[in-house]
């Protein structure tokens, strides 16, 4: 673990929103001048649209939502469950430490990312077939946040808070529809691994997905490369490039979670039943030994 990785007790647990563990919701990097970024897992598609302030991308929104979901799960006094409000620490240093952001993280970068996150919208669609054999598509348009106030006490901005008591504390109020999805069936994560992989948005996406899929797995699961690319990357990325980047990020996950049993083959990835990452010891520098893959039917929302 590098020196700039926040220290945590290896038995500490983080929680990931279920949807964010099933599909990579946010871009890995700034996608530029595009209308939306889409990810697909089976018959479910999630399209994310940028806010009026720009795109939220990379590690910050991912770590922040894991942190927020963990506050909800543990019943933190920073969470107003009735009004779907999460308070943010006034101290930027303390906030970074608790979220898992490395020392030296820019206040400007965090505030900009959270600002863009607060204006982000999603369209979630489902393509299927009715009992009479007719194809259908249905969807929901979701706002992530309904109201927000962002200010750290060591930022250069100076304006009063929205509350009657004049409290300038930062907070985010999640929309009702997103809150119901946000609080449903969280995926437990090893906080040490989360923080260690938090420097790489791609590795963090892969870890969340593996933690979700490996839980309760009884037999090997095969996932084709094409399905992985649709789930983790944009359609314009060449397959050879995706495989290289995915494999490098997966190697980081395997080093942080040595108990995971996963093999990358010519046609896709095979995941084997393994020990939970919650029971993982300190990382060691080793790679899982190859096991003969066995293909099984993929059911991404089982």
> Using one digit for the tens of pLDDT, what is the confidence trace for 40-95?
988 889 999 999 999 999 999 999 999 999 999 999 999 999 999 999 888 888 99
Q: Strand order of the sheet with strand 268-272? A: 221-224, 268-272, 261-264
Strand partners, 54: 51
pLDDT digits (tens, 9 = 90+) for 20-47: 998 899 999 999 999 999 999 888 899 9
- Reported as type and span, the H/E element at residue 96 is helix 92-99
pLDDT digits (tens, 9 = 90+) for 214-269: 888 899 999 999 999 999 998 888 999 999 999 999 999 999 999 999 999 999 99
DSSP class per residue in 182-227: HTSS-EEEEHHHHHHHTT-HHHHHHHHHHHHHHTT--S-EEEEHHH
Q: How far apart are CA 39 and CA 300, in angstroms?
A: 13
């Amino acid at each position: 673990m590098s020196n700039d990785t926040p220290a945590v007790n290896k038995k500490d647990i983080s929680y990931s929103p279920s949807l964010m563990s099933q599909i990579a919701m946010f871009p890995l990097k700034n996608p530029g001048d595009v209308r939306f970024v889409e990810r697909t897992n089976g018959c479910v598609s999630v399209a994310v649209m940028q806010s009026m302030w720009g795109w939220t991308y990379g590690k910050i929104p991912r770590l922040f939502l894991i942190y927020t979901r963990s506050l909800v799960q543990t019943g933190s006094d920073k969470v107003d469950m009735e009004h779907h409000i999460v308070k943010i620490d006034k101290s930027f240093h303390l906030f970074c430490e608790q979220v898992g952001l490395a020392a030296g993280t820019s206040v400007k970068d965090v505030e900009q990312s959270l600002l863009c996150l607060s204006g982000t919208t999603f369209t979630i669609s489902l393509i299927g077939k009715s009992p009479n054999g007719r194809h259908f598509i249905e969807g929901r348009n979701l706002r992530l946040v309904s109201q927000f106030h962002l200010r750290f006490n060591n930022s250069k901005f100076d304006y009063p808070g929205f509350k009657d008591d004049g409290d300038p504390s930062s907070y985010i109020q999640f929309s009702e529809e997103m809150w119901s999805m946000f609080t449903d069936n969280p995926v437990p994560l090893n906080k040490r691994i989360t923080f260690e992989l938090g420097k790489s948005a791609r590795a963090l996406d892969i870890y969340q997905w593996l933690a979700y899929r490996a839980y309760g797995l009884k037999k090997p699961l095969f996932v084709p490369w094409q399905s992985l690319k649709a789930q983790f990357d944009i359609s314009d990325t060449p397959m050879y490039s995706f495989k290289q980047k995915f494999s490098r990020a997966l190697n980081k996950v395997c080093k942080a979670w040595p108990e995971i049993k996963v093999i990358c083959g010519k046609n896709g990835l095979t995941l084997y039943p393994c020990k939970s990452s919650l029971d993982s010891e300190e990382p060691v520098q080793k790679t899982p030994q190859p096991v003969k893959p066995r293909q099984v039917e993929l059911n991404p929302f089982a």
